Structure 1
């Protein structure tokens, strides 16, 4: 059978536009390898590539155009992977496909629909089968079942039969990840895209129970890593085949087993590769970090989630915040680039909790160089979590699009999401102790402010005693309540220029309004003339996928960046300084 697997159209907000990473989907290329090992033909369709090539536009034509592009590949079966944040896109494309070819089998999998398999099967007839959990074991039997018309013996699937929902027993979880087939990297145009760094699956599973996270609901709580021999073999293959020497090891908690990490470091150290990973701060120490750095680790993503000790307990993260600065100190001292990620918008979060999170961020801006990246995300309700079990009956919808959430493109997108909160909970929010307006304001204000860079932001913070919470709450108090909740560069500029001169230093005002306000204006003017498609840029066009300057500013002008840098734009293209300075 000819199986066309369709990647997520996962969009990230970078400043005032959407962008995306062009990377092979690791789950899909694993499934293609499984299908082809069983005599089927696998084809990978990535809509992000199509947008980057100008074949698709990020507008109301997208869903139908994607369906037509999939049909041109003449599939016998179409399989979608999807996340909650972009399920509206998957749903609409599948509906156009089914309308054009009612007899075409359409299957769907991924974390979101695995948890909500009954709701999806009951409400959306464009999907013939929902594949639950890890699909490597079930896919061959599913394809044979679709050929024969009998799915009763296929493990881990949900489907309709005679107007009833049938749910077959779950297939056993694969414990030895070395048994996975070699990923079908050749089905992605790695060389044509010009990838210099690539993602590699390192493992699956999470043993922790944070109330907001659904990872364990999909991959299970058993922590599993590929053996160091298998993992290094994949890196060696990619280096030999494509010349790639930088890798992102994909596992939310790579360092849970320090012994396994040391084994990997021993195996990879003499290769000269650079790699990055994710870790909990209480699952690393100075000795392990030094060993990782010696073996080529360049960057670590730390999920901190909240700067409030009270909220650490409530959301069951249970991270000792006394580790925060020492771990960052050690990581930076070893010349690795850390990312610290925080979340706000928990339903139990109070004003003081949010202030503590903001001030943890603010103190880091004052303490660390630009080699530290700090993220602040708005909480997204996820299925299969303790939060959705406790607060799912209170979900509310306001149409706000945050972080990775897919934009509304067709006229009925918003109505459809509002009508089905138990399926589209990612686009909803939990009403809580703080008003929704405050959470939206805080996260969007930080997005704007962070793109000033640490140098300029330090000048702003100096007028508020180094406190980010005081800065953002003052901005909120100053803002007219009739204005939109979301902060944009116009508001930042007006706040800075209209503040009483006795409350803000002349250096701070001239620094920000002199350089950045012009850049904001340039970005806004360019943005008005572009289409949504032209404003979407692949992350390969950006500096490390962020659109932000990462190299040090010219030492001759510490108060302002070189004019060839666009500090804050709606189109996040970085132009490096080419002057003699």
Structure 2
């Protein structure tokens, strides 16, 4: 029986890591492994995270790597390998998927890097010879880097189990729980890694409703959808919204990342009826400078965006995002 530890380092204590929970659920379908989640934040001491990982006695360590924790991860990996030279360390996530060769050359302590969606790759890594696993960078017996090609995107997302346990929802009602009803992005923004994968896939509506009822029954405070652009498929997103409103709870908020200019008059009218505070939207404007929009391939319809934002601002909490330092911008244009 081997021990596998899944490490997620969040940007804040109240956050949860959905990726390591997905992977844990997939590995639970395989016999022969004891699984431990180690979840911390970048505000914790490096030594404490290392100690918690070592105390879990892992044979294999799977690490979720993002922009907010990459420096932490790159400091932890060599230290863990010093303490346990036999530990197999694999990294996954967007901060290593697109520069895997560079990362593995810089950190010889890393056994491999999982590229893309990790759920099926991990299962194959644990059940097949590495030379037959797509989506994996690894070292062969001569320590040469090898890559067998990309694992295709998962066509049927419903095969991925719901990531959370009922007990952890009920015991951590003050934390932020992340959820997705779609994967992929159709846009081509030059600054965003999500633009690399073009296919957009959805979890089925019956599956989504079942998952959301689990959140509703647990009585938690905030669920953040991590769909790249939630409001792409009107039939899909409106059905979900109507289901949530039918099961409205006054102390629960659902957060969505949306493109405001995609809303038509029917959707705007519907949104004005949403109970105050039940929904909150994060709207990625990024820039209002037209030369910059063209360069980054993100040409917003600013007039329609402004009109729609003003129409829904009274009952929906809004976050409007800008990115500083884009091409053709300086301090004056950003102001």
Return the TM-score normalized by structure 2.
Answer: 0.90
Counterpart CA distance in 2 for 1:289 and 1:69 is 48
SS at 1:183's partner residue?
A: coil
Asked if 1:299 is matched to 2:280, the reply is: yes
- CA shift, 1:232, in A, is 1.5
From 88, 91, 99, the equivalent of 1:105 is 88
> Could you give the per-residue CA deviations for residues 217-237 of structure 1, whole angstroms, max 9, x where no partner exists?
3xx111222222211211112
In structure 1, the partner of 2:228 is: 252
User: 1:101-500, aligned counterparts within 5 Å?
Assistant: 101-145=84-128, 150-161=129-140, 162-185=142-165, 189-195=168-174, 198-217=177-196, 220-240=197-217, 242-244=218-220, 246-273=222-249, 274-292=253-271, 294=273, 298-333=279-314, 335-350=315-330, 353-354=333-334, 358=335
Counterpart CA distance in 2 for 1:153 and 1:327 is 50
In structure 2, the partner of 1:4 is: 5
- CA shift, 1:94, in A, is 1.1
SS at 1:261's partner residue?
A: helix
- CA shift, 1:79, in A, is 0.6
Counterpart CA distance in 2 for 1:246 and 1:351 is 35
- CA shift, 1:206, in A, is 0.8
Aligned length: 327
Q: Which structure's relative contact order is higher, taking Cα pairs within 8 Å and 6+ residues apart?
A: 1
CA contact (8 A) 1:269 1:294 kept: no
CA contact (8 A) 2:66 2:93 kept: yes
- CA shift, 1:246, in A, is 4.5
Counterpart CA distance in 2 for 1:175 and 1:289 is 32
CA contact (8 A) 2:271 2:312 kept: no
SS at 1:2's partner residue?
A: strand
Asked if 1:75 is matched to 2:58, the reply is: yes
SS at 1:302's partner residue?
A: strand
Counterpart CA distance in 2 for 1:8 and 1:215 is 21
CA contact (8 A) 1:156 1:167 kept: yes
Counterpart CA distance in 2 for 1:287 and 1:120 is 48
> Could you give the per-residue CA deviations for residues 68-116 of structure 1, whole angstroms, max 9, x where no partner exists?
2101011121110111342121011111110111111111000010101
Asked if 1:45 is matched to 2:28, the reply is: no
CA contact (8 A) 2:16 2:175 kept: no
RMSD: 2.2
Gaps spanning 5+ residues in structure 1: where?
11-19, 52-56, 359-581
> Could you give the per-residue CA deviations for residues 419-443 of structure 1, whole angstroms, max 9, x where no partner exists?
xxxxxxxxxxxxxxxxxxxxxxxxx
By percentage of residues, which structure has more helix? 1
In structure 2, the partner of 1:34 is: 26
Counterpart CA distance in 2 for 1:134 and 1:76 is 23
In structure 2, the partner of 1:23 is: 15
CA contact (8 A) 1:266 1:295 kept: no
- CA shift, 1:301, in A, is 0.8
- CA shift, 1:252, in A, is 2.0
Structure having the higher Rg: 1
By percentage of residues, which structure has more strand? 2
Counterpart CA distance in 2 for 1:257 and 1:6 is 34
Return the TM-score normalized by structure 1.
Answer: 0.53
> Could you give the per-residue CA deviations for residues 12-34 of structure 1, whole angstroms, max 9, x where no partner exists?
xxxxxxxx252321111111000
SS at 1:272's partner residue?
A: coil
